[in-house]
Amino acid sequence: MKLSINFLLKQLFLILALALFGQSSMAQSNTLRIVYTFGPGGSGDISGRLIGNHIQKTLGIPVIVENKVGAGGSIAADTVKSAKPDGNTVLLAFMGTMVILPHTMDSLRFDPFKDFEPISIIANSPLALTVSSTTQATNLKDYVAKIKSGAVPKFFGVAPLGGLPHFLGLKFAATSGIELTAVGYKGGAQMVQALVSGEIPATYSTPADLIAMHKADKVKILAVSAPKRLPFLADVPTFKEQGFDVEANTWLGLFAPKGTPSEIVARIANAVADALKDPTISQRMSEMSLDPSGLGPKGLADVMRLDYDRWGPVIKASGYRVKD
């Protein structure tokens, strides 16, 4: 009888151990919910759906992309922050939400470093300074000279205020020894229309917004903020090539709620890296001026901290704040 009890106890222990192991290894076996910070149709949304479709095939789990729009991405971030840390809910966000917003919003309800586990950088994108044909500027030095002489108005457009393009414009102004004011637009299409019509003399945005107009000679992209020229804009020099120490990069990253087990984070990160090796996905992202990355958890954490510290002083000097 004693032997029988011991045997039963061992069997019970084995069952419990297997159950616990199963919870750990099979976590994130339900639907993977990717919560994106902006609306459908943009480069981030399309990238998220491309990655999601690939993960659905490779991991064998349903994947949905949910758009949570508002407050610069903080609504989406709040949603994921409060989710169960089981790998079933992740945040898809651009750098602006995780790095810029904490410096600008007075009542932010999340901490990008304390409330999330970095998973992966999906893609990187530089920004571009584009001018209206009305400026007749041929390069950066010409553009700055025209501003100093009063031939070009001292403002530029961004969509919207408070993002990396806004602060890149201010950083370039400080580097150039000029004063510029940012004018905000609700959407990129409205801003592009204003640039083409000459309503605004210049804009800062991702290159994808204006490549077609640039190639049609309706506007001129003067510089890109990348460390080297872009393959699809080989005729456009960088800021540094033209003598201005300005470089900026926005990234699209994936995050899990704090406390998500490291093995689950690694599993999703590996699935993302695998998806980005797909030629169809990488080609589609390149067409949107995105450079596929796949940098993992530690790399994303390091980049986020670096950018947070780099842009903090620029934002503080601007005095820009978002008040609820």
Q: Are residues 198 and 54 in the same domain?
A: no
Predicted confidence at residue 1, as pLDDT, reads 43
The proportion of the chain whose per-residue pLDDT surpasses 90, expressed as a percent, equals: 80
Last residue of a domain, one of 242, 277, 298: 242
Q: Are residues 105 and 138 in the same domain?
A: no
5 in a domain, yes or no?
no
Give the residue ranges of the chain where pLDDT is below 70.
Answer: 1-29, 324
Predicted confidence at residue 14, as pLDDT, reads 46
256 in a domain, yes or no?
yes
CATH code of 166's domain? 3.40.190.10
165 in a domain, yes or no?
yes
Q: Are residues 104 and 193 in the same domain?
A: no
Q: Are residues 104 and 178 in the same domain?
A: no
Predicted confidence at residue 18, as pLDDT, reads 41
Q: Are residues 133 and 230 in the same domain?
A: yes
CATH code of 298's domain? 3.40.190.150
Last residue of a domain, one of 215, 242, 269: 242
158 in a domain, yes or no?
yes
Q: Are residues 113 and 154 in the same domain?
A: no
Phi, psi of 145 (to 5 degrees): -60, -40
10 in a domain, yes or no?
no
Q: Are residues 119 and 168 in the same domain?
A: no
Q: Are residues 87 and 32 in the same domain?
A: yes
Q: Are residues 154 and 231 in the same domain?
A: yes
21 in a domain, yes or no?
no
Predicted confidence at residue 106, as pLDDT, reads 86
What residue numbers bound the domain in which 253 lies? Answer: 28-125+249-318
Token pair belonging to 306: 């670096």
14 in a domain, yes or no?
no
Last residue of a domain, one of 242, 264, 283: 242
Predicted confidence at residue 19, as pLDDT, reads 42
| Predicted TM-score of the model (pTM) | 0.86
Predicted confidence at residue 323, as pLDDT, reads 76
Number of structural domains found in the chain = 2
Q: Are residues 235 and 136 in the same domain?
A: yes
Tens digits of residue pLDDT in 36-76: 999 898 889 999 999 999 999 988 999 999 999 988 899 99
Q: Are residues 207 and 277 in the same domain?
A: no
302 in a domain, yes or no?
yes
